[in-house]
Structure 1
Amino acid sequence: MVDQPAIEVRGLSVSYGSAPVLVDVELTVPVGAGVCITGENGIGKSTLLRCVAGLQRPDAGEIEIFGGRPGATPEFWRAVVTTVEPPTWYPGLTAREHAELVCRAHGLDPAAAGIDEALDRFGIASHADAIPPSLSSGQKQRLTLALALLRPSRLMILDEPEQRLDPEARTAVAALLAAYREDGGTILMASHDDAFAAAAGTLVTGMADLVAP
């Protein structure tokens, strides 16, 4: 029996008005694998990720995530974490309190989840008591990734996670993503940094390589 892939995309097509963005895209990502989609802005990388994450309905084609429809069930969102959409920051909650909220939402004990260690890994422990809107764009990106890795998941869908990170932070984040894969997690992401993608243990592929022959 063939193992069920984490992601199966068949004949995916999306247009904005009369302009086609994705045409007959095919993609299979096995469980525990990592794929990074590269290419210039405007060629549909984010649109593909949004469709896979269940945040956008395609015009045609089929998508299965662990054998089910994307975004269709609570089980999907327990298994999948995505940074495709900008995060929602709750007014008045600090960075640490956002982390505590994520833990509680996913059945983790905040006291035992290693929140301070997670923030420290991303270099924002000193901002744990700040509210996220007061952080710089790079610090917000670090917090977003820290929260994504803090909660349990089986699949991460990340849109340019290296954005607004300095070289040291890129190296650290790539190592954390590689460790996530080594623990059995699956990654689908878009990136402009091939070195970052390779360090994260993902296979780099261009959008043109995903079009059905």
Structure 2
Amino acid sequence: MPVVVTRDLSVELGGGTVLDRVNLTADPGQIVAVQGVNGCGKSTLLRCLSGLLRPGGGEVEVLGAPPSADAAFWREVGLLAEEPAWYPGLSVREHLELVALTHGGAAPVDRTLDDFELASRAGASPLTLSSGQRQRLALAATMARPSRLLLLDEPEQKLDAGFRDRLARMIRAYADAGGTVVLATHDAALVAAMDATSLRMRDGRVTRPGPVAA
């Protein structure tokens, strides 16, 4: 059974068409990478899949039902979109401990700190981290907990080449374990390294598979 299905998904914002009859399917174990220039509709598509934006037309099903604000939905879905609002009084470690406390079965915090190259900054406030370190923390908070679906909006942003390679391996391992990933990205090398299904978007429509220049 597909994890994600859209049928003729359409969105209009500000009097313009942002998504135009988008059809998409993502199965268990599949990575779907949506590529296209800025403004083509990638982020809007992810917002519809997460339930943060209600489409104007068509249908969206995630895990067999429309996206929901219920806690049960978010136990199954991990979302990386805009940078989170960090708690100024909590350290990097404490943010990840909060994730582990909230979501049973999360990866051990020490292992997560190592995996995301944050161990040396575990005691720091996220507000003092570099932009790349904050991106790694956001990824850690999204990926360290159990889920069946990851929705990732340009996860490669602000990451150096070495960590992009590591991220590709992490996402591939998540899918190989049965998880499903839908991500928006400009990075064709990342798509290739993940062995993802590539969909090309232009002017709100899925046109054909294939890479797109950033």
**TM-score calculated relative to the size of structure 1:** 0.92
Cα deviation for residue 58 of structure 1 reads 1.1
Match of 1:207 among 201, 209, 212: 201
Show the counterpart of 1:31.
Answer: 28
Q: Secondary structure at the match of 2:6?
A: strand
State the alpha-carbon separation in 2 of the partners of residues 115 and 72 from structure 1: 27
Show the counterpart of 1:185.
Answer: 179
* Contact preservation (8 Å) 1:46, 1:190: yes
Show the counterpart of 2:101.
Answer: 104
Cα deviation for residue 121 of structure 1 reads 1.6
Show the counterpart of 1:175.
Answer: 169
Instruction: Indicate the RMSD between aligned Cα atoms, in angstroms.
Output: 1.6
CA offsets 1:92-148 (integer angstroms, 9 cap, x no match): 011100101001111247xxx321121112111101111111111110001111111
Q: Secondary structure at the match of 2:120?
A: helix
* Contact preservation (8 Å) 1:94, 1:128: yes
Show the counterpart of 2:86.
Answer: 89
Q: Which runs of 5+ in 2 are unaligned?
A: 209-214
Q: Secondary structure at the match of 1:42?
A: coil
* 1:129 aligned onto 2:123: yes
Show the counterpart of 2:60.
Answer: 63
Report the AA paired with residue 116 of structure 2: F
Show the counterpart of 2:212.
Answer: none
Cα deviation for residue 211 of structure 1 reads 6.0
Cα deviation for residue 16 of structure 1 reads 1.4
CA offsets 1:42-92 (integer angstroms, 9 cap, x no match): 011000001101111111111000111112432210000000232121230
* Contact preservation (8 Å) 2:10, 2:57: yes
State the alpha-carbon separation in 1 of the partners of residues 105 and 172 from structure 2: 23
Report the AA paired with residue 138 of structure 1: G
State the alpha-carbon separation in 2 of the partners of residues 136 and 166 from structure 1: 12
Q: Secondary structure at the match of 1:98?
A: helix
Show the counterpart of 1:9.
Answer: 6
CA offsets 1:183-213 (integer angstroms, 9 cap, x no match): 111000011111101212311110146269x
* 1:75 aligned onto 2:42: no
Show the counterpart of 2:138.
Answer: 144
Show the counterpart of 1:161.
Answer: 155
- Say which is worse superposed, 200-209 or 61-70, in terms of deviation: 200-209
Cα 1:85–1:54 shift into 2, 3 Å: farther
**TM-score calculated relative to the size of structure 2:** 0.92
* Contact preservation (8 Å) 2:29, 2:175: yes
Give the total of aligned pairs. Answer: 206
